[in-house]
Amino acid sequence: MKLSTKVAVIGAGHAGIEAALASARMGVDTVLFTISLEAIANMPCNPSIGGTAKGHLVYEIDALGGEMGRAADAVTLQSRTLNLGKGAAVHSKRVQADRKHYQAYMKSVLERTENLRLVQAEIVSVKADENNHVCGVMTHLGELWACECVIVAAGTYLESRIFVGDVNYESGPDGFLPSRGLSASLAALGVTVRRFKTGTPARINRRSVALDRLEEQPGEADPLPYAADTPEDYMAGVKQLPCHIVYTNQETHRVIRENLSRSAMYGGHIHGTGPRYCPSIEDKVVRFADKERHQLFLEPIGADTDELYLQGFSTSLPTDVQAEMLHTLPGFEQAEMMRYAYAIEYDCCDPTDLTATLEFRKIGGLFGAGQFNGTSGYEEAAAQGLLAGMNAALKVKGQEPVILPRSSSYLGTLVDDLIIKGTNEPYRMMTSRSEYRLLLRQDNADARLTPIAHRVGLIDDARFAAFEQKQAAIAQEIARLSTTHLSPAQVNPFLSELGQPPVSTGISLADLLRRPGITYDALAPLDPTRPALTKKAALSAEVQIKYEGYINRQIAEVSRHEKLESRMLPSTLDYQKITGLRLEAAQKLSAMRPATVGQASRISGVSPADISVLLIYLGVR
């Protein structure tokens, strides 16, 4: 029997799911391979979707026709918007997700998607033809599947090893089998393989914790959903579960310090590089020795389980030490661990080997996504998977790929950082990584990306019509607020109640809205004939008015940089022969092969003077 498909996706974690769904929804025959059907959409680390900058990525995934936002809405246990005390650019939605229900939701979606087959099989090798273009994948059972494109979304499974104290053994996360052999096959094709590390805390039985001694953290009232097609009032009928906050103390730190030599990380057993922005608790105690305490969050894993997740307490210490340090926490004196904490090492690629489409430069048809590309986090993985699946499908169809510039999205920023700057540790998206973050807000993700998704076939005409209607309503409301003026007699009593200075002349509703502390909702008594807007449309109109000056400055900055981003560099350009280009720059440019002058300008070791030489050279050719 001849087995074949167009696109083969390896791994059914968050990256693999979005990759397979994107490819299949674009009409391309796709097979999604997973070591275990029970591991689909697993959350081996914290049971949440979103967070600072990560929430932006979830909105972008939804705007591009992905599934993560819809799934998160459907299984939300608690919703909060982070950074509300700061500007709109960094407001980030985060939800606690029901772990098992999330898995069941995603498995059901995969099973019901046309053009998509779900196969439980371990892929042990990728085959390539004489032109170094992929042509098939081999399973552990000896089945050869012919294909035109392969997307590696193996998560933390590649040659993975678990570490707990001085005990270590081959295993994937949560006790699933590791992937053996695929790393060697990829290396033989020319993939640069590296070793990274991550970890996860112990899981605690709820009944063994004195929750009344902890600080309760409830969800927010009336939260907005991630997905465009989730009803805005959906969460009104959902009973949100509380999280709880607890802090480490000097006794906790003493236990950790006295046992550092027994930690797998400090004991020299782990050689992979761990995530800077999600360190283990022993790493925090060592690196921030002056801190008297560290904040921890006790989070629910599901509505029908008493298993709790202690965020911030990741460790590779042995089990007896885990128990001892856990019992030093207030309210945790009798705490029972249901799953021990562990660290995990795994193989991944060097993302500088990739292009902006997430295809390998030297291996045609081979794409990477997720933690295989050196990132951390479910959201970063899912976003990359969506882009890789989209571009693999476009490649099969013989159509132009989708390349997202930094100014378009956090996904574009993430990919550009990976392929140009690379990463020597698991990469985590943060709002500070984008120089255009005021343009890349949660509220306008659809305005930035939905037209692209509609063009490639990931969003249907009905949803696109609803999107256009929303954008028209936002534009009309901004215009109405800007042209509706009120007299001082109408406005000053309102301003007096808010402690705001009065006006002596007429003022527009838009100018009132620009005042600090005045919101769109607060203006309702002065604006009784306002049109009925959805909450998302009203929010977007408010933000655009309030930050108009700053937004316009960033738009002008993007326009200036577009000249460099649009200046293409020939793939055959011999940098060694360009007079005036420094040797280091020529070597870096030859190795990285940037597609544009803009990309070249962001390569470490390439100076502004080198870019000037390049521009002069390109101008006289």
Tokens representing 60 are 């972008």
Distance of CA 472 to the CA centre of its chain: 29
Whether residue 561 contacts residue 408, with contact meaning beta carbons closer than 8 Å, is answered with no
Average pLDDT over residues 74-78: 97
User: Residue ranges of the alpha helices (H) in 190-280?
Assistant: 250-258
- The DSSP annotation for 463-526 comes to HHHHHHHHHHHHHHHHHHHHH-EE-HHHHHHHHHHTTPPP-SS-EEHHHHHTSTT--TGGGGGG
The alpha carbon of 249 is separated from its chain's Cα centroid by a whole number of angstroms, namely: 32
Paired strand residues for 125: 138
Q: Are 364 and 356 in contact (CB under 8 A)?
A: no
Q: In the predicted model, is pLDDT for residue 621 greater than 60?
A: no
Torsion angles phi and psi, residue 333, rounded to 5:
-60, -30
Q: How far apart are CA 542 and CA 545, in angstroms?
A: 5
**For residue 1, what pLDDT is reported?**
64
| pLDDT at residue 277, rounded to an integer | 66
Sign of dihedral through CA atoms 183, 186, 190, 196?
negative
Q: Quick one: pLDDT at residue 172?
A: 96
pTM to 2 decimals? Answer: 0.94
* 128-157 tens-digit pLDDT: 999 999 999 999 999 999 999 999 999 999
- Per-residue pLDDT averaged across 204-218, rounded? 97
DSSP 243-255: EEEEE--HHHHHH
Contact (CB, 8 A) for 270 and 343 = yes
Q: For tokens 């020319």, what's the residue?
A: 190
Q: Is the pLDDT of residue 620 over 50?
A: no
pLDDT higher than threshold 80 for residue 278: no
How high is the pLDDT of residue 337?
97
Quote the pLDDT of residue 585: 87
| CA 283 from centroid of its chain's CA atoms | 24
Chain-centre distance for alpha carbon 96:
15
Q: Per-residue pLDDT tens for 18-50?
A: 999 999 999 999 999 999 999 999 999 999 999
Closest by Cα among 405, 488, 418 to 449:
405
DSSP letters, 380-449, are HHHHHHHHHHHHHHHHHHT-PPP---GGG-HHHHHHHIIIII--SS-B---GGG-TTTTTS-STTHHHHH
What separation in angstroms does the CA of 209 have from each of 52, 306, 317?
28, 11, 21
Task: Identify the pLDDT of residue 310.
Answer: 97
Give the whole-angstrom CA distance, residue 482 versus residue 480.
5
Query: Which tens digits make up the pLDDT trace of 474-533?
Result: 999 999 999 999 999 999 999 999 899 999 999 999 999 999 989 999 999 999 999 999
pLDDT tens per residue, range 368-391 = 999 999 999 999 999 999 999 999
- Are the beta carbons of 89 and 441 closer than 8 angstroms? yes
The amino acid that residue 143 corresponds to is E
CA distance 365 to 134: 6
Q: Please tell me the total number of residues recorded for the chain in this structure.
A: 621
**Structure tokens that stand for 313 in this block:** 């307490």
C-alpha span between 280 and 68 (Å, rounded)? 27
Q: Which SS3 state, helix, strand or coil, does residue 537 take?
A: helix
Element (DSSP H or E) covering residue 305:
none
Residue 58 has pLDDT above 60, yes or no: yes
pLDDT at 238: 83
Pairing of strands 123-128, 134-139: antiparallel
Distance CA 548, CA 433 (A): 22
* Torsion angle defined by CA atoms of residues 538, 541, 547 and 553, in that order, rounded to the nearest 10 degrees: 150
Point out which residues pair with 307 in neighbouring strands: 205
Backbone angle region of 53, left / alpha / beta, with phi > 0 → left and psi within -120 to 50 → alpha = left
Question: What DSSP element (H or E) covers 299?
Answer: strand 295-300
DSSP 126-194: EEE-TTSBEEEEEETTS-EEE-SEEEE--TT-BT-EEEETTEEEE--GGGPPPB-SHHHHHHHHTPPEE
Q: pLDDT per residue over 319-332, tens digit each?
A: 999 999 999 999 99
pLDDT at 457 over 70: yes
* Nearest-angstrom CA–CA distance, 198 and 196: 7
The band of 200, judged by pLDDT with boundaries at 50, 70 and 90, is: very high
Average pLDDT, the chain: 94
Q: If you ran DSSP here, which 8-state letter would residue 345 be given?
A: E
Contacts 24+ apart (CB under 8 A), 590-594: 592/352, 592/420, 593/361, 594/420, 594/569
Per residue in 406-434, pLDDT tens? Answer: 999 999 999 999 999 999 999 999 999 99
Characterize 165-193 residue by residue with b for buried, 16 or more Cβ atoms within 10 angstroms of its Cβ, and e for exposed: beebeebbbbebebbeebbebbeebebee
The answer, yes or no, to whether residue 535 has pLDDT greater than 70, is yes
Write the single-letter amino acid at 373. Answer: N
β-strands 7-10, 30-34 pairing: parallel
Residue 205 bridge partners (DSSP): 307
pLDDT at position 6 over 80: yes
Q: Which tens digit of pLDDT belongs to each residue from 337-360?
A: 999 999 999 999 999 999 999 999
